[in-house]
């Protein structure tokens, strides 16, 4: 058993520690580490991520901050007019990397900006020049209490099939309904899909700090979700490849500020309604026309680690889901890289394949 994590919170932004949070967090990380090791013995490596193991594509992009932002938004990486190189990984959420894309699932968009100055939050990577933003294609998450999360993992990994069937009950009714909604989603193309951070983050220095959520929305709206009539198991990768062979793709990167104390930082299951606090565009993501499917580029991208804690203090992750992620993501990333005998290092943005 590794050391129990030390939990720190920002009460001014609405954070508070959950009962048993530190112990549950450590237990979650230990169980997921063990499951990765068991799932990927030497004859089944390279070891994949425990969640979002199936990538549809990992692509080059640019992230250009908008001009004319007000002071409360022009914080951290959102330096007016700044442009960053980026790697973006699109993925399925299910733990099975061979799961056909036509089955419902969460879809992920993980953005890594390069060339970001400033000291970062993770002590071991304080001098890294990267900033990550992690999102899925749903505005809320299905769990918050870390003890419920641990119970979910225990039931889901049980050798008793009857116990496994009870796993969704660990989420409570609201959480189970959200999980069912997320896991039933089908999409046409990762490049035509909207994504949300689902959980909040700090934005700003001490004088401007506030709680916000992020979203990435395709620049051009599409009226219909046209899934192929006979989709192959990897049709989402094929759709991305076809789109980027013909043209660029584009997303608006948006921020939603918390305007009311009723928008709870520790409640990941309740949406901050856009009708009450609309999202504001702060940057444009351009994914240029490209070929991204070489073996070398795939291997490079699979060795990348994405975590919301690859971050400047001005974008510090908030809430219990993010605090659990800090321990779990770092622990599982180290385990995966150790199993694969691969170095853990952040990209610079000038990689070529």
User: What CATH number is given to the structural domain containing 96?
Assistant: 2.40.180.10
Pull the structure tokens for residue 276: 């009450």
Answer yes or no: is 347 within a domain: no
CA 178, 323, 317, 341 dihedral sign is: negative
Spell out the per-residue pLDDT of the chain, length 353, in tens. Answer: 578 888 999 999 999 999 999 999 999 999 999 999 999 999 999 999 999 999 999 999 999 999 999 999 999 999 988 999 999 999 999 999 999 999 999 999 999 999 999 999 999 999 999 999 999 999 999 999 999 999 999 998 888 888 888 898 899 999 999 999 999 999 999 999 999 999 999 999 999 999 999 999 999 877 666 898 889 999 999 999 999 999 999 999 999 999 988 899 999 999 999 999 999 999 999 999 999 999 999 999 999 999 999 999 999 999 999 999 999 999 999 999 999 999 999 999 999 88
Angle between helices 320-340 and 146-156 (to 10 degrees): 40
| pLDDT of amino acid 164 | 87
End-to-end CA distance of the chain: 40
Residue 353 included in any domain: no
Please report whether residue 88 resides in a domain. yes
Instruction: Note the pLDDT of residue 161.
Output: 85
Closest listed residue to residue 53, CA positions, set 96, 87, 90, 100: 96
Q: Answer whether residue 304 is part of any domain.
A: yes
Does some domain include residue 69?
yes
Give alpha helix (H) positions in 90-226.
146-156, 161-165, 172-183
Tens digits of per-residue pLDDT, 101-153? 999 999 999 999 999 999 999 999 999 999 999 999 999 999 999 999 999 99
Range of the domain at 123: 11-340
pLDDT of residue 40: 95
Q: Give Cα 353 distance to the centre of its chain.
A: 25
Residue 351 domain-assigned (yes or no):
no
Distances, alpha carbon 270 to alpha carbons 74, 335, 344, in Å? 27, 33, 35
Q: Does residue 2 lie in a domain region? A: no
CA atoms of 281 and 161, how far apart (whole Å): 47
Give how many domains the chain has, as a whole number.
1
Residue 349 resides in a domain = no
Question: What does pTM read for this prediction?
Answer: 0.96
Q: Residue 223: what pLDDT?
A: 63
């Amino acid at each position: 058993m590794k050391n129990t994590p030390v939990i720190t919170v920002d009460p001014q932004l609405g954070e508070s520690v959950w009962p048993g949070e530190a112990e549950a967090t450590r237990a979650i990380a230990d169980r997921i580490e063990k499951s990765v090791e068991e799932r990927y013995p030497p004859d089944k490596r390279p070891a994949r991520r425990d969640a979002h193991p199936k990538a549809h594509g990992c692509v080059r992009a640019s992230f250009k901050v908008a001009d004319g932002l007000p002071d409360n938004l022009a914080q951290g990486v959102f330096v007016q007019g700044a442009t960053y190189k980026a790697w973006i990984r699109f993925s399925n959420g299910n733990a099975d990397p061979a799961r056909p894309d036509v089955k419902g699932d969460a879809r992920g968009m993980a953005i890594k900006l390069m060339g970001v100055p400033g000291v970062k939050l993770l002590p071991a990577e304080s001098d890294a020049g990267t900033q990550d933003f992690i999102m899925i294609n749903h505005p809320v998450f299905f769990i918050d209490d870390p003890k419920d999360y641990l119970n979910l993992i225990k039931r889901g990994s049980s050798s008793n099939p009857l116990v496994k069937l009870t796993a969704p009950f660990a989420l409570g009714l609201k959480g189970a309904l959200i999980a069912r909604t997320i896991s039933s989603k089908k999409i046409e193309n990762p490049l035509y899909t909207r994504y949300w951070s689902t959980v909040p983050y700090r934005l700003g220095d001490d004088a401007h700090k506030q709680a916000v959520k992020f979203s990435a929305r395709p620049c051009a709206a599409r009226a219909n979700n046209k899934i192929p009539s006979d989709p192959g198991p990897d049709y989402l990768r094929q759709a991305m490849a076809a789109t980027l062979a013909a043209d660029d793709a584009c997303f608006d990167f948006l921020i939603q500020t918390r305007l009311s104390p009723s928008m709870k930082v520790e409640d990941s299951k309740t949406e901050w309604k856009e009708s009450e606090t609309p999202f504001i565009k702060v940057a444009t993501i351009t994914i240029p026309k490209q070929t991204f499917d070489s073996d070398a580029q795939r291997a490079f991208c699979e060795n990348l680690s994405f975590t919301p804690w690859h971050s400047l203090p001005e974008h510090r992750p908030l809430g219990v889901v993010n605090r659990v992620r800090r321990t779990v993501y770092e622990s599982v990333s180290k385990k995966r890289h150790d199993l694969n005998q691969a170095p853990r290092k952040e990209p610079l943005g000038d990689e070529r394949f």
